[in-house]
Structure formats: C-alpha cells, structure tokens
Amino acid sequence: MIDQRLVRDNPEVIAQQLKRRGKSIDLTGLQLIARQQRGLEEERSTLQADGNRIGKEVGLKIKAGADPKGDEVAALRLQGNAIKQKVAVFEEEEKALSSQLRDQLLSLPNLPSPLCPDGKDEHDNVEVRRWGTPRIEDGLEEHWQIAHRLNLFDTERSVRIAQSRFVTLMGQGARLERALINFMLDLHTSKGYREVMPPVLVNTASLTGSGQLPKFAEESFRCADDDLWLTPTAEVPVTSLHRDEIIPADQLPLRYSAYSPCFRREAGSYGRDTRGLIRLHQFNKVELYWFVHPDQSEEAHQQITADAEAVLQALELPYRVLDLCTGDLGFSAQRTYDLEVWLPGAGAFREISSCSVCGDFQARRSAIRTKNGKQTQLVHTLNGSGLAVGRTMAALLETGQQSDGSILLPKPLVPYVGFERLQPE
C-alpha cells in the first residue's frame, strides 16, 4: 500500500510513477480525503490533550482542598465531558475517512523502482542474461505429448474428478513431482532458508496484506461459508507469518522457503496452454520469501534471484533472465526479474519464476515493522518462485528426451527419483 503521507503531501509523485505503469489516475479526491483525515486527527489530538489537562487540573484542585462536589470542580468536569463528546464525534468521522482512504489506497498498485525499465508491456522487457545452451532440434515432442506417451498424468479423469485445467499425476509423473519438491526444498534450506509448509486456506486479511485483494478477487477460489480462500501462492501465508509484528533488527533478514499447492482461476486465459502443465487451476510451487531491512532490499533482490536460478542450473535447464518493464510489473512489485526456461519441444522460453522486490508495500498493508533501538520502520519484502514445479517438470521432459523415447534425468535429481530415466510403463 502506498504511504498516505505521500498522497497527502506529494500526490504528483504518485501520479508520475503510476503513469510509468500506464495508469492515468486523478488523485485530487484522494488527497482531499487524506488531508481531511489528517486535520481531524490533529483536532482530536488537541482536544484529547485539553481533556487530559482538565482531568489533571481537577485532581490537583481536589488535592489542594477543593470540594469534589463543589461548583468549581463541577464546572471543570462539565467542560471535560463536553470535550469527550466532541472527541467521540471526531473519532467516528476520522474512522470513516480512514476506512475510505484505506479502501482506495488498497486498489492502487505499488510504485515502480527507479531502476525498473520503462515500457508498455512484455515486449518491452529487457533481457539481462542467459545461462546454458538451448537445445534446438526438429522433431522434438512437447511435454504433454511425452506425458501422454509415458502415462505420466491423466487429464480426462481429472475433468471427471474436478473440471478442465486440472491434472492427476500418475506413476513416474507423481514420483517426479514429489522428487522435484524435495530437491528444491533441500537446495534452498542448504543455503540457510527456513522451511515452511503453511496452510492452504488463507483468510481475507492475508490476501489483502500480500496484495491479492481486492484487485484479484476474481482470480481466486473462495470457500462460500467461511472467510477462507484457497491460496494462489505461498507468498500469501508467508507474508502473514509476521503480520502485525515488530521484528527485531538483529533478526533480519528472515528467509523462508515454502512448499504449497497453489490455486488460480486463470481468468482471461482460456484458449491458452490448454494442454499440459503450463497453465492449471491447481499446481505445486516452492516459494522463496525474504523480510529485510530497507537498506538490504536491492542486494536481497539480486540474491533471491540467484537462489531461484541455482535450481535451474543444478537441473541443467537453459534459461534467460528478464528485467520486467513498468507496464508488465505485478501489482505488488517495485521491480521484478522473470526467469524463463527453455522448452525444446515448444521451441520457446516460458516463465518459470518471478523474483520481485516489493519495498514496504506489503509490509504497510500487513503492519510488519522492525525496530532498532527506539526507531521503528516498515520492513521490505521480497518473493520469488524457487520454482514452479509443474513447469520445471515440463522443461525436464522436453530437455531430457532421447531417441529411444526415454527421458534422461539430471544427475542431482536421480537420488530423489530413484532412477536415471523415465521409461514407458
């Protein structure tokens, strides 16, 4: 959430930065609400100070011998009660304005970093680097063709169980998925991440704190009878691990690696990637998440990206890193590096991880602060997929396909799977 002080004092800064995102927003009305709210807050504080002064004066007069039921004390008390009534009215007005201000601020995306390249959409993203040599050959199968041939997952029965865009992993497919999750978690925890397995159901406050609500309500699955939603990413519950907390400065950075199934409606994407593991309503993901001191934010962004890249490198999967332009940034992000893995069968790079620095945007929504001595300030948060498991499997299937129809797996993964190749069952 954007700092309301910026709305009140420098709305032109917000407007300029949101324009970089391609959004033209008139903040005049919001600034007026912010100033009215601040004015009421100052008036209320002044009245409360007057009320406290009168209360002390009553105590001093009684202590000095004044009659507690006398006219002098009664007049002061009458004055104090009148102030209390005014304060109560101001509190209600202030509360209404604060709620109105917060509701509107919650709908505004994060301001892009000055380091973020300007652009309109994904075509303006900037390639930063590449790793590995993409396999380019004619006649290679796409992962869904391989999966069908090796009976790795079943989509038709999944429609019977749920609906389209769900898969049931079978046999070697289920084993490979489980192996990838364990491999990723082990790799990250070996680097100092603390493993977390959070709840799959999250409440509205958690989704609001991380930035998914109110913006992406239509993208999420909600439990009709409860204030609970199926989590779209482990970023949501991990953000709320420290909601409404003050984290001692000497404990930062906090680094978590969390596995969770993820659930998304993928509204607006129908007709795209209808076959295979690329775009599903339910998928598994290992998430990386940092809580850091603001001074560590940029360095942490480079490191969390490197940690996600380490998975691809260990699995020998060629990829490229893109610096997303302002027009392609996610709602909560200040700056994002996308990792795109090469899919030889499809002959294309596909997103497998987004590593984002969010500044204090999520921390302000979730009231997550740090304290060093007497100074209290909002932390910065970062998140990145480490990695999306289904897309990793897709890349492994297409990269490892052999002339005999088997799939050769990377050596680091063999101890987790128990075999070197996927073979027809």
One pLDDT digit (tens) per residue for the chain, 425 residues: 899 999 999 999 999 999 999 999 999 999 999 999 898 888 888 888 888 888 888 777 777 777 777 877 778 788 888 888 888 888 888 889 889 999 999 999 999 999 999 999 999 999 999 999 999 999 999 999 999 999 999 988 999 999 988 999 999 999 999 999 999 999 999 999 999 999 999 999 999 999 999 988 989 999 988 999 999 999 999 999 999 999 999 999 999 999 999 999 875 555 566 788 898 999 999 999 999 999 999 999 999 999 999 999 999 999 999 999 999 999 999 999 999 999 999 999 999 999 999 999 999 999 999 998 888 999 999 999 999 999 999 999 999 999 999 999 999 999 999 999 999 87
69: CATH: 1.10.287.40
C-alpha gyration radius of the chain: 27
- Asked whether residue 115 is assigned to any structural domain, the reply reads no
Q: Identify the CA nearest to 394 among candidates 232, 188, 177.
A: 177
DSSP string for residues in 223-262: ETTTTEEE-S-THHHHHGGGTTEEEEGGGPPEEEEEEEEE
- Asked whether residue 384 is assigned to any structural domain, the reply reads yes
**pLDDT value for 83:** 86
Residues 164, 291: one domain? yes
Amino acid at 199: P
Residues 217, 71: one domain? no
Q: Enter the pTM of the model.
A: 0.90
Domain final position from 106, 134, 151: 106
Q: Tell me whether strands 245-248 and 368-372 are parallel, antiparallel or unpaired.
A: parallel
Residues with Cβ < 8 Å from 113, sequence gap 6 or more? 334, 335, 357, 359
Residues 131, 66: one domain? no
Residues 360, 289: one domain? yes
Q: What is the dihedral of CA 237, 241, 245, 248, to 10 degrees?
A: -130
Residues 318, 415: one domain? yes
320: CATH: 3.30.930.10
- Asked whether residue 366 is assigned to any structural domain, the reply reads yes
DSSP string for residues in 363-380: HHHHTEEEEETTEEEE-E
- Asked whether residue 99 is assigned to any structural domain, the reply reads yes
13: alpha, beta or left? (left if phi > 0; alpha if psi -120 to 50): alpha
- Asked whether residue 184 is assigned to any structural domain, the reply reads yes
Identify the domain containing residue 284 by its residue range: 122-422
**pLDDT value for 68:** 75
Residues 250, 363: one domain? yes
Task: Give 277: exposed, middle or buried? Use CB within 10 Å, 0-12, 13-18, 19+.
Answer: buried
- Asked whether residue 391 is assigned to any structural domain, the reply reads yes
Distances (CA, A) of 381 to 75, 115, 192, 367, 388: 54, 17, 17, 12, 20
- Asked whether residue 114 is assigned to any structural domain, the reply reads no
Residues 285, 393: one domain? yes
Residue 248 CA to residue 269 CA, distance in Å, equals: 43
Number of domains observed in the structure of the chain: 2
Residues 94, 185: one domain? no
Using an 8 Å Cβ cutoff, are 283 and 390 in contact? Answer: yes
Q: What counts of helices (H) and strands (E) characterise the chain? A: 13, 18
Residues 134, 269: one domain? yes
Using an 8 Å Cβ cutoff, are 76 and 66 in contact? Answer: no
**pLDDT value for 414:** 97
- Asked whether residue 310 is assigned to any structural domain, the reply reads yes
